[in-house]
Amino acid sequence: MTALTTGRRSMRGRVLAQRWLLGLLAALVGLLFVLPAIWMLLGSLRPGSDVIGSVSPLSWNTLIPDVWTLDNYASLFGPLRFGQALINSLVVGFASVALGLAISIPAAYALSVFRFPGRELVFAVLVVGFMIPFEAIAIPLAQIFTQWHLDNTYIGLILPGIGNGLAIFNLRQFFLGIPSELHEASRVDGASEFRTMTQVYLPLSVTPVINSALLIFLAQWSAYLWPLLVVSDDNIQVAAIALSRTFSDTSFNFGQMFGGALVISVIPAVLLLVLQRYFTQSVATKGLK
C-alpha cells in the first residue's frame, strides 16, 4: 500500500465520522424541537385531565400515557365540528395562496427587473404595509367589511390575506439575484415582459415561490382576530377559532386542546414535507447552462 491510498482511506474515514457526527447533531436538534409537540400528541391521546395530572413528578408517565383513548379526537371531529372548520381554513388558505401569488409575483418582478422612478418608494410602501400590526386596523376594517356584506363569506376571509408584503419582499430578493443577462436575452429574443416572467424567471424560482406561498398560507392558517370579528356563522368559521371550543370559562380540556392544536398543525407540516423536494434546485445549476 502506498502512502497515497492509506491517506485517501483515512480521509474517507474522517469524512464518514464527520457525517455521522453531523447526523447525530441534526437528529438531536430535530428531536429537541419536536419533543414538546410529541408531548402534546401523546397528551391528546389521554383522557382530558390526565395531562395535568401526570405533569408532576417527572416520570415516563409524564410523556407516555397509561390510559390511551381516542375520545378527544372523537369529540373534536364530532360535537366540536373541527372537520368543517379545517375545510374552511383549507379553502381560505389555498384561495389566498392562488390569488396572493397571482398578484405578488408580478409585483416582485416589477420591483426587481424594471427600472423606473419611484421604484424604491413603491417598495417602501409595500414594506410599510406589512409592518402595520393588524390589530391596529382590525376593528374599523371589520366594520367596513360588514357594511359591504362581506362578513360570513369566504371572500371576506380571503381578501385581507392576499396582499402580503412579506411574500412580495421574499420574491423580490430572489429575483434580484437572477442575472440580468437572462432578462436581456429573453427580451432580445422578442418575448414580452410577461412571457419573460413566466417562462424564464418563474421556472428558476420554484423555491422562493413555494416559500412565499407558505408565507401566505401560514398567515391565513393562523389568523385569529380577523375571522373572530368577521365571521359569526359556525359553518364558515376557521380552525384557529374552532380551537377555542375546547375550553370555556369554567372548564379546560387539555387533551382536546392539544389534539386540536396538532390537527391544525398537521396540514402545513405535511405541506412542507411534500414540497421539500423542490428545495434543492439552484439558479446556478439551472440558469445559464
Out of 90, 150, 191, 229, which residue is the one contacting another protein (CB under 8 A)?
Answer: 229
At its nearest, how many Å lie between another protein and the CB of residue 66? 13
Minimum Å distance from CB 5 to another protein?
21
User: In angstroms, how far apart are the furthest CA atoms of the chain?
Assistant: 86
The closest alpha carbon to 88, from 229, 275, 223, belongs to 223
CA 25, CA 45: separation in Å to the nearest integer? 30
Helix ranges (DSSP H) in 114-149:
119-131, 138-147
Residue from 11, 17, 22, 155 touching another protein (CB under 8 A): that is 22
Q: Which of 23, 98, 202, 203 binds another protein (CB under 8 A)?
A: 23
Record the cell numbers describing residue 251, joined without a space: 372548564
In this chain, which of 11, 16, 87, 125 binds another protein, going by CB under 8 A?
125
The closest of 42, 46, 37, 153 to 95, measured between CA atoms, is: 153
Exactly one of 119, 149, 189, 199 binds another protein (CB under 8 A); that residue is: 119
264 binds another protein (CB under 8 A): yes
Least separation in angstroms between residue 88's CB and another protein is 15
Site pattern 174..213 for another protein (x: CB under 8 A) = x-xx-xxx--x--xx----x-------------xx--x--
Distance CA 191, CA 208 (A): 23
Selection from 53, 116, 51, 6 nearest residue 259 by Cα: 51
Q: Which residue has the cell 412571457?
A: 195
Taking CB under 8 A as the binding criterion, the range among 2-10, 66-74, 90-98, 139-147 that sits at the site for another protein is 139-147
- Contact set for another protein, span 66-95 (CB under 8 A): 75, 79-81
C-alpha angle with apex 249: 133 to 138, nearest 5 degrees?
20
The stretch near another protein (CB under 8 A) out of 4-12, 64-72, 90-98, 246-254 is 246-254
- Angle formed at CA 159 by CA 116 and CA 206, multiple of 5 degrees: 60
Binding region for another protein (CB under 8 A) out of 2-10, 66-74, 90-98, 231-239:
231-239
Compute the distance between CA of residue 106 and CA of residue 102 in angstroms, rounded to an integer: 7
The answer to the question of residue 216 lying near another protein (CB under 8 A) is no
Residue 64 interacts with another protein (CB under 8 A): yes or no: no
Q: How many angstroms separate the Cα of 282 from the Cα of each of 169, 177, 200, 233, 271?
A: 19, 11, 14, 46, 21
Under rule CB under 8 A, residue 154 binds another protein: no
Query: Quick one: which of 40, 92, 157, 216 contacts another protein (CB under 8 A)?
Result: 40
Query: Using CA atoms, how far apart are residues 111 and 96, in angstroms rounded to an integer?
Result: 22
Looking at 1, 4, 67, 131, which residue binds another protein (CB under 8 A)?
A: 131
Size of the site for another protein (CB under 8 A): 139
Q: How far is the CB of 3 from another protein (least distance, A)?
A: 21
Beta-bridge mates of residue 162: none
User: In the complex, what is the shortest distance from the CB of residue 45 to another protein, in angstroms, rounded to a whole number?
Assistant: 15
